[in-house]
Structure 1
Amino acid sequence: MRIVKKEVNDKLGRWSKGSTLLLTTMLNHLKLKIPGTQLEYTGPLDSWELAEKLSSGWDSPIVLAKVLEATRAVLTGNCSYERDGTQFSTHPVKNTLRELLDELTEKNQQVIDFGGGLGGTYICDSDVLLKKELEYIVIEQQSFVHHGNALAREFSIPVKFSSELPKLESNCIVIFSGVIQYLQHWESVIELITSQEPRYIIVDRIPLEKKESKFFIQENTGYYEPNVSYPCIHLSRQEFLGSFQNYRLIKEWKSDFDPKNHRGFLFEGRKSA
């Protein structure tokens, strides 16, 4: 069911406003539902550009509103934990990212949370991170930066939000949690990070393919109202691991929250080892 004939993608690439019905029919044939999860994809498609053209995008204010509501719920004590804008009454039984941050972080250490939303990782795990007095910086798109800094001021959260990557310190920890698959130029981002040689890089919740990388539209039917969709890439495992030059793989795990092709990785700089 994951095989899409080239001629279907060729037709999708040439779609026009006058062929909306044909387009919808073809896309419905490409939908993939991941058993046991809410994840639904359309594809694979031929390119990121095509997936982007046919989706609404990450910059939707609907996404921000849902994450903001859930983050406020944690901060005001109305829920214990949030993930991707979903509110939970209890923390997850298993959270490898939390365990690693508790183990690896040191007092006054710099931590960069790339694509970290409104600081959910720090806020939900503040019981283990607050005492470390970290320089915790979330890198996000400007709309999230604005609301993140407003929340930090309102609730006295020791987290900074920025759309620009600062100079990384030698003992820095960089987090990519559920974000690399939504970056069109993911290789450039990883190269930018690794070139500054942070001590550790944690990648969590990334979907990988055994062979070639594949492009999809991630559907969110019933999750957002109205529906929001965005382009994503399921990276070739070999291509993904090969992008971490001068780093050695310390730990790999199956994502604690996602389908079995979603993995987590801890990399350490070879100079730090």
Structure 2
Amino acid sequence: MKSLLKSLIPPIFFTFLNKFTGRKYGWKGNYSSWEDACLHSTGYDQDDILNKVKESALKVKNGEAAYERDSVVFDEVCYSWPLLSGILLSSVNSGSIRVLDFGGGLGSTYYQNKKFLDLFDVVSWNIIEQPNFVNTGQQYFSDGCLRFYTDLDSCLDEQQPNVLLLSSVMQYIEKPYELMEQLLKRRFEYIVVDRTPFSHDDKDQLKLQVVSPVIYSASYPCWFFSETSFVEHYLKNGYKLIESFTSLEGNSRDCMFKGMIFKRD
């Protein structure tokens, strides 16, 4: 499985920072292949990145911070209400929350919404991540609700999630449409997409995302999707689009960050 990556800082931060740096950070170039983009990137599997994410996530878990996103801690939770609505909608028939959070890091979205999740008697939040994150998650964060897996099959052998969460992950997959097809074959009742960049010209584009060292030093390939093509993959696989929304990152001159809620027909 390809490395699962997380979007790091919102476009508005890049806009502010680039006034003083000559646009050194953010999204750059138009690459013809994933391999070409990788030649110019440093990747996401560095130990210092994992350690920073772990340190921030532990602060949230231990009550020392209210919220963590992409290793940055906040004094108050910044909710994505549409995302939460999609998760809660999936509980209508069963009365339980059963999530597969693909590329969910160390549980940022789980802890973000824990106040609401705790209202349910049954919560199963299952994260699929790259092995170093899974090892850390199992050691420091796993509990009766939150679990970590390295692949889809091992998760589905043990759990029965009915909602798939894809938050800031598909853009960091080498072949996102192939992965999408594999996931859609599992026939989740609901799929919630969030924090996903779409190009202004409605064409798939491959960029290099360069992260400010204010967060940590890293760079990696990043897709901007054609919204038309992206949605069509769900529709042709038997899903209907319930709602689309602007993600917390908002829109910039580079792209539009959006989310979507799909339901299986």
TM-score by length of 2: 0.81
User: Closer, same or farther in 2 for the Cα pair 1:159/1:37, shift >3 Å?
Assistant: farther
What's the counterpart of residue 74 of structure 1? 60
**Greater displacement, 131-140 / 261-270:** 131-140
Q: Compute the displacement of 1:146 (Å).
A: 0.4
Identify which of 228, 233, 252 aligns with 1:243: 233
User: Closer, same or farther in 2 for the Cα pair 1:94/1:135, shift >3 Å?
Assistant: closer
The CA RMSD over aligned residues, in Å, is: 2.2
Q: Does 1:148 align with 2:137?
A: yes
Instruction: Tell me the percent identity.
Output: 27
Q: Compute the displacement of 1:62 (Å).
A: 2.5
What's the counterpart of residue 137 of structure 1? 126
SS of match in other structure, 2:53:
helix
Separation in structure 2 between the aligned mates of residue 211 and residue 131 of structure 1, nearest angstrom: 40
AA partner of residue 57 (structure 2): T
Q: Compute the displacement of 1:201 (Å).
A: 0.5
User: Closer, same or farther in 2 for the Cα pair 1:60/1:171, shift >3 Å?
Assistant: closer
Q: Does 1:259 align with 2:251?
A: yes
Q: Show CA shifts across 1:82-121 (max 9, x none).
A: 1111100011265422233234335444310000000111
- 2:56, 2:73 within 8 Å by CA — same for their partners in 1? yes
- 2:99, 2:162 within 8 Å by CA — same for their partners in 1? yes
Q: Does 1:65 align with 2:51?
A: yes
AA partner of residue 220 (structure 1): V
- 1:208, 1:263 within 8 Å by CA — same for their partners in 2? yes
AA partner of residue 116 (structure 2): V
- 1:207, 1:262 within 8 Å by CA — same for their partners in 2? yes
Separation in structure 2 between the aligned mates of residue 171 and residue 249 of structure 1, nearest angstrom: 20
AA partner of residue 250 (structure 1): I
User: Closer, same or farther in 2 for the Cα pair 1:239/1:42, shift >3 Å?
Assistant: same
Larger radius of gyration: 1
Separation in structure 2 between the aligned mates of residue 224 and residue 36 of structure 1, nearest angstrom: 14
Separation in structure 2 between the aligned mates of residue 100 and residue 205 of structure 1, nearest angstrom: 14
Separation in structure 1 between the aligned mates of residue 156 and residue 27 of structure 2, nearest angstrom: 36
- 1:216, 1:233 within 8 Å by CA — same for their partners in 2? yes
Identify which of 198, 208, 223 aligns with 1:217: 208
Q: Show CA shifts across 1:232-265 (max 9, x none).
A: 1111112211221211100100012343501000
Separation in structure 2 between the aligned mates of residue 162 and residue 148 of structure 1, nearest angstrom: 9
What's the counterpart of residue 5 of structure 2? none
User: Closer, same or farther in 2 for the Cα pair 1:137/1:37, shift >3 Å?
Assistant: farther
Q: Compute the displacement of 1:122 (Å).
A: 0.9
What's the counterpart of residue 178 of structure 2? 188
User: Closer, same or farther in 2 for the Cα pair 1:221/1:34, shift >3 Å?
Assistant: closer
SS of match in other structure, 1:219:
strand
What's the counterpart of residue 19 of structure 1? none
SS of match in other structure, 1:147:
helix
Any runs of at least 4 consecutive aligned residues in structure 1 with deviations exceeding 4 A, and if so which? Answer: 36-39, 168-171
Q: Compute the displacement of 1:37 (Å).
A: 7.2
Separation in structure 1 between the aligned mates of residue 97 and residue 215 of structure 2, nearest angstrom: 36
TM-score by length of 1: 0.79
Greater RCO structure (CA 8 Å; 6+ sep): 2
What's the counterpart of residue 112 of structure 2? 124
Q: Does 1:97 align with 2:47?
A: no
Q: Show CA shifts across 1:3-57 (max 9, x none).
A: xxxxxxxxxxxxxxxxxxxxxxxxxxxxxx9535786112122222111111011
Separation in structure 2 between the aligned mates of residue 34 and residue 224 of structure 1, nearest angstrom: 12
- 2:80, 2:247 within 8 Å by CA — same for their partners in 1? no
Separation in structure 2 between the aligned mates of residue 36 and residue 94 of structure 1, nearest angstrom: 23
Identify which of 74, 81, 87 aligns with 1:88: 74
Residues matched between the structures, number:
235
